[in-house]
């Protein structure tokens, strides 16, 4: 009899502990959430490995942790992290001479239409950011593009560069051919993402696909341009129709795929009395 009473007592204690743990976690998560809300942080920051590492370090430290001050974050800690990053980059650079590298160019438009080109150096051991260049006066001219690419190859060292990956637009293609003509040991290759985007664009221009994409675009525009319909769509599907993707045409196909997967709730929405 005492044994059964003792077991009940243990169960009560364990149940109380679980409730306390649950309350403690909810309070802690609420404090973390407020930090995100008050400082305008993107919610996907919570998926960052460094966020998980931070929580683990705080847990391992235990009670009494005094967090870093704004001064520490902007001085000593920043300099320490810079030194750590430089050390990581130095280790990656040691592998360049062993297996070579690829130079990658990533172009994007900044405020006021400025065209920026980011140059990165990649091999299986990691990717290193080299520099960013304002190429607004360069990107439209194949010769100027060639001179820019040539200077980047020279900066890294021609002996280390195996290939240069750039955009597949006509001016980039011509610049790449000029680069290969001068530096016969390396190759240029078009950006895979841009090539896939062009493939999707061509597929989308086929009659059997063009009609489906046009109808899907009309439905999507109608829903997102009418607040009441948009609210109904979210109520019935619990999801968004538009799925963002790195390229414009990939977004169109992902949205079309989402519409197909949500066909039944969308039909239910359009036939509902609401």
262 with 234: CB under 8 angstroms? no
For range 107-126, the mean pLDDT: 86
Q: Which of 10-14, 24-28, 74-78, 202-206 has the lowest mean pLDDT?
A: 10-14
**pLDDT tens for residues 117-168?**
999 999 999 999 999 998 888 888 899 999 999 999 999 999 999 999 988 8
For residue 10, the model assigns a pLDDT of 46
pLDDT at 1: 40
Q: What is the pLDDT of residues 219-266, one digit of tens each?
A: 888 888 888 888 888 888 888 877 665 566 777 788 888 888 888 888
Ranges assigned E (strand) in the chain: 101-109, 115-123, 126-134, 161-166, 187-190
DSSP run (H or E) holding 37: helix 2-38
Domain ranges of the chain: 2-67, 97-190, 198-271
Rounded to whole angstroms, what are the CA distances from 163 to 106, 156, 184?
Answer: 15, 12, 11
What pLDDT was estimated at residue 20?
Answer: 64
How confident is the model over 35-81, as pLDDT tens digits?
Answer: 999 999 999 999 999 999 999 999 999 999 999 999 999 999 999 99
Quick one: 252 exposed, middle or buried, by C-beta within 10 A (0-12, 13-18, 19+)? Answer: buried
Given a contact cutoff of 8 angstroms between Cβ atoms, the answer to whether 171 and 221 are in contact is no
Residue with tokens 């050390």: 87
Both tokens of 201, joined, read: 């664009």
Q: Does the 97-190 domain belong in CATH 3.30.420.60?
A: yes
Higher pLDDT, 274 or 164: 164
Q: pTM of the entire structure?
A: 0.67
Predicted confidence (pLDDT) at residue 203 exceeds the cutoff of 70: yes
The more confident residue out of 234 and 272 is 234
Helix, strand, coil distribution of the chain in percent, nearest 5:
65, 15, 20
């Amino acid at each position: 009899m005492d044994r059964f009473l003792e077991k009940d007592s243990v169960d009560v204690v364990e149940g109380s502990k679980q409730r306390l743990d649950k309350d403690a976690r909810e309070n802690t998560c609420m404090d973390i959430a407020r930090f995100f809300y008050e400082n305008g942080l993107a919610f996907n920051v919570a998926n960052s490995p460094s966020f998980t590492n931070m929580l683990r370090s705080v847990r391992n430290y235990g009670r009494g942790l005094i967090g870093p001050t704004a001064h520490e974050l902007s001085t000593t800690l920043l300099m320490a992290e810079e030194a750590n990053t430089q050390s990581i980059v130095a280790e990656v650079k040691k592998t360049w001479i062993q297996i070579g590298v690829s130079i990658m160019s990533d172009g994007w438009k900044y405020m006021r239409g400025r065209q920026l080109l980011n140059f990165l150096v990649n091999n299986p051991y990691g990717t290193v950011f080299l520099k960013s260049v304002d190429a607004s006066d360069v990107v439209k001219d194949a010769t100027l593009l060639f001179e820019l690419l040539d200077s980047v190859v020279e900066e890294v060292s021609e002996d280390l560069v195996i290939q240069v990956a750039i955009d597949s637009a006509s001016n980039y293609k011509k610049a790449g051919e000029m680069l290969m003509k001068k530096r016969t040991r390396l190759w240029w290759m078009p950006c895979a993402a841009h090539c896939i985007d062009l493939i999707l664009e061509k597929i989308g221009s086929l009659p059997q696909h063009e009609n489906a994409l046009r109808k899907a675009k009309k439905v999507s525009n109608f829903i997102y341009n009418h607040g009441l319909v948009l609210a109904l769509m979210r109520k019935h599907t619990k999801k968004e129709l538009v799925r963002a993707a790195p390229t414009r045409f990939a977004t169109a196909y992902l949205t079309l795929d989402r519409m197909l997967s949500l066909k039944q709730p969308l039909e239910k929405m359009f036939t509902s009395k609401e």
